[in-house]
Amino acid sequence: MSRNTRIANLQRAATLPWTDGGQCVVREASQPWPVLAERCFAALDHDRVRFNDRTGRCAVASTGTMALGIGLCVLAAPEIVMGAVIVVGVVVVGVVIKEALDAYELRGSSQEEVEPAPQTKPAPQEPSANRKPKPEPSGQDGFPPVPTEPLERNRRPECRPVPVPRASKDGPHNDCADTFPPNRFPGMDVSVGGIRFDALQVGVRVLWEIKTHQFDKYNSFIQRMEIPKELKQIKKEQDIAMACGYDFVIGVSTQAHKEALLEADFSLNVVVTGCKR
């Protein structure tokens, strides 16, 4: 699976322009695509890429939360949406990506044979040296700074996000949790402070609780019983998220559900996902 993931990620990344020849992509190729996109976003040639949020998910997901560049959200989406990422001009496959793909195709290389390429190839180091001034404005060109690994290492151990198997077996719920924020760990819950959350949003420190039931279809009695039960769970999750330095968002499927939660506690950050069952 790791080898297949690497190949798929390398092939997807080969369609994009990279300022480092693809060194970051090859280094992170074994990670899920959303993680790779987050870690290598700064190495993308932003002057040649246009992002089109065709679903409107990225703009909505950013409302009321920490600022998230729509470009990173679009790029990191697990699914490929036609026309979402537009490249200006012809893409020449990064030398390091091409080298890695050739290694798989021609030699059937293992992961260990491919990874040394960025270290042993002297040529890609030249562009990297010439671009020393470029990373400095990267956080000022409309895209937010991307969290890095050292930042996570500085957290208290119990506050570090740990991907864990899904607690829910509800397919539509899990699909919504993966694609709407979108989730940094597709197919997984994330444990923070001993509490499971449905998703950790790509690119920012925002934990999500996803609810996909059609609240407006419940009768009034069930609705009155449901909200206090949800608030008890939400309060527990929110306290842990805030104590560990994360924002916390509740994603609900309907406007009626959002209004009921805000009526009970106007301080909550609730977003309508529109996810269907």
Q: Would you say residue 112 has pLDDT above 50? A: no
Contact predicate 268/262, CB 8 Å: yes
Higher pLDDT, 55 or 271: 271
Q: Are residues 188 and 260 in the same domain?
A: yes
86 and 25 part of one domain: yes
Q: Could you say which of 112, 144, 176 is where a domain stops?
A: 144
- The reply to whether 277 falls in a domain is no
Residues 126 and 37 in one domain: yes
CA atoms within 13 A on the CB side of 257: 24
107 plus 172 within the same structural domain: no
**Looking at residue 272, what DSSP letter applies?**
E
Please tell me whether residues 210 and 115 are part of one structural domain: no
Q: Choose one of 110, 125, 144: the last residue of a domain.
A: 144
- Cross-strand partners of 208: 199, 249
CB 25 within 8 A of CB 13: yes
For residue range 252-275, list pLDDT tens digits in order.
Answer: 999 999 999 999 999 999 999 988
In this predicted structure, what is the pLDDT of residue 33? Answer: 87
- The one-letter code for the residue type at 152 is E
Q: Do both 9 and 125 map to the same domain?
A: yes
Q: What is the pLDDT of residues 155-172, one digit of tens each?
A: 578 899 999 999 999 999
Residues 74 and 56 in one domain: yes
Q: What are 170-213's pLDDT values in tens digits?
A: 999 999 999 888 888 889 999 999 999 999 988 788 999 999 98
Rounded mean pLDDT of the chain? 77
DSSP letters for 124-180: THHHHHHTTTTTGGGGGSSSPPPP-HHHHHTS-GGGS-EEEE-S---HHHHHHHHHT
Confidence of residue 82 (pLDDT cuts 50, 70, 90): low
Q: Is residue 251 part of a domain?
A: yes
pLDDT at 13: 87
- On whether the CB atoms of residues 99 and 106 are closer than 8 A, the answer is no
pLDDT at 118 over 50: no
Do 121 and 41 share a domain, yes or no? yes
Task: Return d(Cα 67, Cα 82) in angstroms, integer.
Answer: 25
172 and 49 belong to one structural domain: no
Q: What is the DSSP string of 193-256?
A: TTEEESEEBTTS-EEEEEE-S-GGGS-HHHHHHHHHHHHHHHHHHHHHHHHTT-EEEEEES-HH
How many domains are contained in the chain?
Answer: 2
What pLDDT, on the 0 to 100 scale, is given for residue 135? 45
Tens digit of pLDDT for each residue in 216-249? 888 889 889 999 999 999 999 999 999 999 999 9
Residues 168 and 115 in one domain: no
Q: What is the percent of the chain with per-residue pLDDT over 70, rounded to a whole number?
A: 73
Same domain as 133, residue 16? yes
Range of the domain at 15: 2-144
Angle CA 114–115–116, to nearest 5: 100
Residue 164 lies in a domain: yes
- Given 102, 123, 144, the domain boundary residue is 144
Claim to verify: residue 166 and residue 250 sit in the same structural domain = yes
